[in-house]
Amino acid sequence: MDTIEGMRTFVAVAGESSFTNGARRQGISTKLASKYIRQLEERLDAQLFHRTTRSVTLTETGQAYYDRCLPMLDQFDELEGLVQARQSELAGPIRITAPTGYGGNHLVRALHPFQAAHPKVQIELHLSDHHVSIVEEGYDLAVRFGDLKDSSLVARKLTDMRIVCCASPEYLARHGTPTDPAALATHNCLLPTTSATPDQWEFRVQGEVRKYAVSGSFRANSPLAVAQMTANGLGIGRMPFYTAEPFLEADRLRVLFQDQECKVIGLYVVYPPSRHLTARIRGLIDHLCGGKIVTGSFDPHPPATNSFSGKDFTWST
């Protein structure tokens, strides 16, 4: 067994709390992952995991070894990255997590030219509308919308995204077009539970931001689900512009209260504060921050313009 490969397998199993998932992350069989861990424990003469039929947890020694493995593997990756940078060729794996709707469409389009230019880079993209801990679950970076809550991670802002209020032409024909946000109280509003206050929608009216209470028969933790149900005519929905864009272009949605929009959310690329970013990860971050993210511009005069800053900063809870 190669010691570095054994350490990588150990970190993957520890991060997933599962031999099966850790092996999948490494692209090897569960049997081989178990063999690597067993050989590593024999080499160290120490038990690294408590194993039961239901769980895999680190022993005290295993936790101490895990804490030291992470920076060592980062430094090893950085060493490889330096060699790759000198050869002007990027190679190796990058694990990314992103929201389902955005990641499966716009982000994939942004990643394609990067992989075409660097065919030896292997990208593993994990799509989820739930918060994912990138450190604990072993991701190299995340693409995220909205308030940034992870402490002590590094983020680079890619763009701002409009939050739009929409309805289908069919719904408006049946129920009428509301001309004031206060009228939303009489409509079936479809609520995105990814928002901290899904039943309070904000608009800028007469120069000040006001909140309007809304309610309806459908809630979802996926902006795409809200957009799809809105386009099907169930009610009035509020969603990020990127989810509404294809339905707007197909004339299945109409934007309401465009002049009174006041809500935008930031889009960020987020990664652990390691001093040793590998050349391939640094290259991908620079690629995304170089304006490769697609945000759409269906409205020629949007109230919030899309812009790229690419500025590094940290935040804490």
Domain co-membership, 169 together with 219: yes
Q: How many domains does the chain have?
A: 3
Q: Which of 37, 70, 103 is the last residue of a domain?
A: 70
Is residue 287 located within the same domain as residue 153? yes
142 shares its domain with 171: no
What is the pLDDT of the chain when averaged over all its residues?
Answer: 83
The set of residues, in sequence order, having a beta carbon less than 8 Å from that of 206 and lying 6+ positions away, is none
- What is the span of the domain harbouring residue 103? 84-157+273-315
Is there a single domain that holds both residue 172 and residue 227?
yes
Among the listed residues 15, 17, 22, 238, the one whose alpha carbon sits nearest the alpha carbon of residue 138: 15
Within-domain flag for 303: yes
The domain that holds 23 is classified in CATH as: 1.10.10.10
Separation between Cα atoms, residue 276 and residue 85, nearest integer Å: 13
Residue 92 lies in a domain: yes
Q: How confident is the model at residue 310 (pLDDT cuts 50, 70, 90)?
A: very low
Same structural domain, 153 and 28: no
Whether residue 179 lies inside any domain: the answer is yes
179 and 244 share one domain: yes
Identify whether 79 is part of a domain.
no
Residue-wise pLDDT for 141-179, tens only, equals: 999 887 666 556 788 888 888 999 999 999 999 999 999
30 and 23 in contact (C-beta within 8 Å)?
yes
89 is a domain residue:
yes
| DSSP-H helix ranges across 27-137 | 30-44, 60-87, 100-102, 108-117
Q: Is 93 contained in some domain?
A: yes
Has residue 177 been placed in a domain? yes
Give the model's pLDDT for residue 303.
37
Q: How much is the pLDDT for 316?
A: 30
Report if residue 20 sits inside a domain: yes
From 87-96, 220-229, 279-288, the region with the lowest mean pLDDT: 87-96
pTM score over 0.85: no
Summarised one tens digit per residue, pLDDT across range 32-70 is: 899 999 999 999 999 999 988 778 999 999 999 999 998
Last residue of a domain, one of 245, 264, 283: 264
Whether residue 282 is found in the same domain as residue 256: no
Give the CATH number for residue 97.
3.40.190.10
